[in-house]
Amino acid sequence: MQDFAEAFTVAFGLVGALDADLVEIVVLSLRVSLAAMVVSCVIGLPLGGWLAISRFRGRGVMLVVVNALMGLPPVVVGLMVYLNFSRAGPFGWLGLLYTPTAMIVAQTILITPIIAALSRQVLEDLNTEYAEQLRSLNVTGFRVVRTLVWDARFPLLTVALAGFGRAVAEVGAVIIVGGNIDHLTRVMTTAIALETSKGDLPMALALGIVLLLIALGVNALVMSLRATAARYAYA
Amino acid sequence: MLRAVIDPPAPAAPEGAASTRLRTRNIVLKIDGKSVLDGVTLDFDPDRLTVIMGPNGAGKSLLLRILHGLLKPTGGEVSWGGGPAGPPRQAMVFQKPVLLRRSVAANIDYVLPKSECRDGEECAGLLARVGLAHKARQAARLLSGGEQQRLALARALATKPEALFLDEPTASLDPPSVLMIEQLVKEIQSTGTKVLFVTHDVAQARRLADDVVFLHRGCVTDHAPAADFFGGACSPVAADFLAGKIVI
């Protein structure tokens, strides 16, 4: 028990002193996950918008597939990306394996279905409310999507943050495609796994504390966005 | 069943302008195989404020949606006088106003051409007309029910409609809001816009109507000038409705 207490004390010390190794790992984690979130939004939001307002044969099947992909096992995604980026794989010539870019790709694959499925739900609900009025005002095509995305901006930001939360806490995929290489691809989750296996509890705990703080920060941001949206009624 | 059909005068629309002489021929609407509108044939006078009345479930709102083009009938046709300019500019105000999640002014700007948005005069003028100039920067969804409906009406006016459809716009509003909206509707009609107003409020219909269409179970039972209709020259079912008897 005393070891734990000592580990916590050292961990808080590392966080408080902004230990250089710790900061490097945290910065890389944020860089990778934020990049994955941005790319996923670029792909997932239009996909969600399209699924929300279009009606076509096979749409139901597509919705089931997109929803099912929200539960993609990270290790399976990691394995698929690994196979594609390994030297014998179709994208081996890019030389991306064990780089932050490969980690961004893996996280993007993981969270794009989350962003597409959740944004589809948000935009479809809004479209149900707006559709008849927009048709009455002679608003059609891309302007409908633009209107829906703008008016649903607060819920969509929440969706993006949910994607970020999933990405930053993910370990299975990034450890396979990133390799957990010190000063290159070591992020918070992979470092926690490594330091725990080495018995270096203070560093693992320090990273865990930062990860929890980020999770808390993301949730606080989501709540404040909701409060802002309610206060201004999306105006 | 049709008691009277108004024979409207020849359209007086200026040359090149879209005609607001609305006609329907044998409109049929079936939902899940059940007929909810059955053989609706009407000629609307462009210069009169037409009130469409009837009990709940008579098909009033569905007919209005078909006339506005939001709903495709199972059979029959809707035409606008066959003028060279095609259908007129139209707008519709719904029973429950659907406002964008933006400010009051932004809801108006949304439908204005960019050139008219820039100086803000058009928007300010419309908001002043519906008594909302002082709430321009407020969130539209935080307005009261009556204010929301007035904003919806102002937004409809921003499209400069030649035909305006109103689907029970005053349902669930307090009397001052009802009177304010009725006053606005009369003003709009007086500027030459063809107004079709759906209501099941008899007193309101008496206040507004130039002519009345009465629907019962998806069929037109009456289409008559308001004076005749309210003066007793109406079908038995309409007479029962006006007398406050249960009409199903």
> What structural domains and CATH numbers belong to chain A?
2-234 (1.10.3720.10)
Residue pairs between chains A and B whose CB atoms are closer than 8 Å: 46
Backbone φ and ψ of B117, nearest 5°: -70, -35
How much is the pTM? 0.79
B133-164, pLDDT tens digit by residue?
999 999 998 899 999 999 999 999 999 999 99
Please, are residues A190 and A33 in contact by the beta-carbon 8 Å criterion? no
Q: Can you tell me which residue has the tokens 């006609």?
A: B23
Q: Can you tell me which residue has the tokens 């606005």?
A: B184
Q: How confident is the prediction for chain B on average, in pLDDT?
A: 87
pLDDT for position B243: 83
Of all residues in chain B, the one with the smallest CA distance to A151 is B101
pLDDT for position B2: 44
ipTM here: 0.84
pLDDT-derived band of residue B16, with 50, 70 and 90 as boundaries? Answer: very low
pLDDT-derived band of residue A137, with 50, 70 and 90 as boundaries? Answer: very high
B95 interface with A at CB cutoff 8 Å:
no
- Three-state SS for chain A is CHHHHHHHHHHHHHHHCCCHHHHHHHHHHHHHHHHHHHHHHHHHHHHHHHHHHCCCCCHHHHHHHHHHHCCCCHHHHHHHHHHHHCCCCCCHHHCCCCCHHHHHHHHHHHHHHHHHHHHHHHHHHHHHHHHHHHHHCCCCCHHHHHHHHHHCHHHHHHHHHHHHHHHHCCCHHHHHHHCCCCCCCCCHHHHHHHHHHHCCHHHHHHHHHHHHHHHHHHHHHHHHHHHHHHHHCCC
**Cα distance between residue A153 and residue A156, in whole Å:** 5
CB distance B102–A130 less than 8 Å?
Answer: no
* DSSP single-letter state for residue B193: -
Query: What are the b/e assignments for A147-168, b being 16+ CB within 10 Å?
Result: bbbebbebbbbbbbbbbbbbbb
Q: Which of A37, A69, A75 is nearest to A190 (CA)?
A: A75
CB distance A235–B92 less than 8 Å?
Answer: no
Of all residues in chain A, the one with the smallest CA distance to B67 is A136
Q: Which residues of chain B lie closer than 8 angstroms to A132, CB-CB?
A: 70, 94, 98
Q: Which residues of chain B lie closer than 8 angstroms to A135, CB-CB?
A: 70
CB distance A132–B142 less than 8 Å?
Answer: no
Give alpha helix (H) positions in chain B: 60-68, 104-109, 114-119, 121-129, 145-158, 175-190, 202-208, 226-230, 236-242
B28-84, pLDDT tens digit by residue?
999 998 999 999 999 999 889 999 999 988 999 999 999 999 999 999 999 987 655
pLDDT-derived band of residue A145, with 50, 70 and 90 as boundaries? Answer: confident
* Gyration radius from chain B CA atoms: 18
Q: Which residues of chain A lie closer than 8 angstroms to B91, CB-CB?
A: 136-137
Please, are residues B62 and B28 in contact by the beta-carbon 8 Å criterion? no
- Within 13 Å and on the Cβ side, how many CA atoms surround B151? 32
CB distance B92–A136 less than 8 Å?
Answer: yes
Task: Give me the count of residues in chain B.
Answer: 248
pLDDT-derived band of residue A207, with 50, 70 and 90 as boundaries? Answer: confident
Q: Which residues of chain A lie closer than 8 angstroms to B140, CB-CB?
A: 233, 235
**Cα distance between residue B188 and residue B20, in whole Å:** 14
Of all residues in chain B, the one with the smallest CA distance to A135 is B70
- Please, what is the angle between helix A20-53 and helix A59-69, to 10°? 170
Extract the tokens encoding B220: 């037109």
pLDDT for position B120: 78
Please, are residues A11 and A191 in contact by the beta-carbon 8 Å criterion? no
CB distance B68–A136 less than 8 Å?
Answer: yes
- Please, what is the angle between helix A201-232 and helix A20-53, to 10°? 40
Partners of B220 in the beta sheet? B215
Classify the phi-psi angles of B40: left when phi > 0, otherwise alpha if psi is within -120 to 50, otherwise beta.
beta
pLDDT for position A6: 77
Extract the tokens encoding B18: 């879209």
With an 8 Å Cβ cutoff, the interface of chain A facing chain B consists of 129-130, 132-133, 135-138, 147, 151-152, 232-235
Partners of B206 in the beta sheet? none
Which residue of B68, B101, B148 is the best one to mutate when testing the A interface, meaning the one whose CB has the most A CBs within 10 A?
A: B101
Of all residues in chain B, the one with the smallest CA distance to A147 is B100
Q: Which residues of chain B lie closer than 8 angstroms to A137, CB-CB?
A: 91, 110-111, 155, 159
Partners of A74 in the beta sheet? none
**Which of A129, A130, A234 is opposite residue B102, by nearest beta carbon?**
A234
Please, are residues A203 and A14 in contact by the beta-carbon 8 Å criterion? yes
Q: What's the Cα-to-Cα distance from B143 to each of A201, A232, B104, rounded to whole Å?
A: 56, 12, 9
Q: What's the Cα-to-Cα distance from B210 to each of B13, B90, B195, rounded to whole Å?
A: 19, 20, 10
Which residue of A126, A129, A133 is the best one to mutate when testing the B interface, meaning the one whose CB has the most B CBs within 10 A?
A: A133
Count of C-beta atoms within a 10 Å radius of residue B66: 21
Q: What's the Cα-to-Cα distance from B149 to each of B44, B100, B177, B180, rounded to whole Å?
A: 26, 13, 9, 10
CB distance B141–A136 less than 8 Å?
Answer: no
* B14 has a pLDDT exceeding 50: no
CB distance A137–B159 less than 8 Å?
Answer: yes
Domains defined along chain B, listed by start: 22-243 (3.40.50.300)
* DSSP single-letter state for residue B14: P
**Which of A132, A137, A151 is opposite residue B101, by nearest beta carbon?**
A151
CB distance A235–B101 less than 8 Å?
Answer: yes
* B3 has a pLDDT exceeding 60: no
B142 interface with A at CB cutoff 8 Å:
yes
Please, are residues A107 and A173 in contact by the beta-carbon 8 Å criterion? yes
Backbone φ and ψ of A177, nearest 5°: -90, -20
pLDDT-derived band of residue A30, with 50, 70 and 90 as boundaries? Answer: very high
A158-205, pLDDT tens digit by residue?
899 999 999 999 999 999 999 999 999 999 999 999 999 998 888 888
Q: Which residues of chain B lie closer than 8 angstroms to A234, CB-CB?
A: 101-102, 139, 141
**Cα distance between residue B68 and residue B52, in whole Å:** 14
A52-63, pLDDT tens digit by residue?
988 899 999 999
